[in-house]
Structure 1
Amino acid sequence: MNIIYKKFLFRVGTETANEAKTIAPYKTGNLKKDIKVISYSHKKVIVGNTKLAPYAKFVYFSTKPHMIKVKKARALANKKSGVVFGKKVNHPGTKANAYLKNAFDNYIRSEGFTRAKSALVRDIKQGIITDIKKGFK
C-alpha cells in the first residue's frame, strides 16, 4: 500500500509544482524554473525551490526595508537600463508572496485533485482485491 500513497503524493506534488509555476512572480529568471518536487515518500511530499533560486525565500516570506551597499564595484547600477544608483541604496523591502501555498490551495480546489483522489481510490481498491486473491492461493 505504501507504493500507492507514494504515487499519489508524487502526483499531488508534481501538479502543485506545475500550478506554482503558473502563479509565481517574475516572468524571467530561475524562480519559476526551479519549482519542483524536492522529495516524497508514502507519508509526505516536499515542493519548493532549490539552490538555483536562492532568493526564493525572500520572495516567499518578504523582506524588511534595508540598505544595499556596494561590495566590490564602484557603484550599484542597472546594466540593462544604464541607471547608476550610487554606493548605497535604501531598498523599500518586498511583500510576501506565498506562491507555493497559494498553488496548493488552488490545486486542492481543482478538478486535477478530484481526479487524483479518484485514482487513489481505484489503486487502493485494486490493491485490496489483489491482496485478497493472494490470501486464497
Structure 2
Amino acid sequence: MNFNTHLKNFIFRVGSGIANRAKIIAPIDTGNLKKDIQVFDDNINNFEVEIGNTKLAPYAKFVHEGTKPHVIKVKKMKALANKKTGQIFGKKVNHPGIKANPYLLNAADDFLGSLEFEKAKDRLAKDVENEVLKDIKASLKVK
C-alpha cells in the first residue's frame, strides 16, 4: 500500500461514518430518505467523497434545505389531495413552506466531533507511520 491508498481509505471511512450518522438523524416518513443516504466515491482518486441521496428520494433537497412559501397547482388531476388524510384542497393551495432540516450537515458536525472520527485519524496516522518505517527500512543499505 502507499500513502494515497491510506488517505483514500480514511476519506471513505469518514464519509461512511457521516452517512451512518445521517441515517440515524434523518427525518422519517416513508423511510426512503434514510434508506437512500449513500457515500458516492466516484472522485475518490481526487480524494473526494460525497454523501447524499439519489433519485429514490427526489425530495431530499427540499427536506435538507427547506422551501419558501409557494403555490402548488393541479397539473393532471381535478384537485389536490392529501393521500394520508384524504383531505381535498382544490385546484391550487398556498403551501407555507418547509423548515430546513440539514440532516447531512448535522451528521457531519456530529461525526467530526466523535470518538469514531478520532479513531479514524489515529488509524490513518498509524498506517502512515508504518509506511514511513517500511520505506526507511527499504532504503537502508549495508556497504
- Calculate the TM-score normalised by the size of structure 1: 0.92
- Equivalent-residue separation in structure 1 for 2:8 and 2:134 (angstroms): 18
In structure 2, what is the equivalent of residue 106 of structure 1? Answer: 110
- Equivalent-residue separation in structure 2 for 1:59 and 1:4 (angstroms): 34
What one-letter code is carried by the residue in structure 1 that aligns with 2:118? T
Q: Which has the higher strand share?
A: 1
Deviation at 1:90, TM superposition (A): 0.8
- Equivalent-residue separation in structure 2 for 1:60 and 1:82 (angstroms): 27
Select which of 12, 17, 21 maps to 2:14: 12
In structure 2, what is the equivalent of residue 35 of structure 1? Answer: 37
Deviation at 1:11, TM superposition (A): 0.3
Aligned length: 137
Tell me which stretches of 4 or more aligned residues in structure 1 moved more than 4 Å. none
Structure 2 gap ranges (5+): none
* 2:23 alignment partner, SS class: helix
Structure 1 gap ranges (5+): none
In structure 2, what is the equivalent of residue 79 of structure 1? Answer: 83
* 1:51 alignment partner, SS class: coil
* 1:119 alignment partner, SS class: helix
Q: Cα RMSD between the aligned structures?
A: 1.5
What one-letter code is carried by the residue in structure 1 that aligns with 2:60? A
In structure 1, what is the equivalent of residue 70 of structure 2? Answer: 66
Deviations 1:53-99 (A, max 9, x none): 11111111111101111111111112332211111111000111111
Deviation at 1:27, TM superposition (A): 4.1
- Calculate the TM-score normalised by the size of structure 2: 0.88
Deviations 1:7-55 (A, max 9, x none): 0000000010000111112242321111111125262221111222111
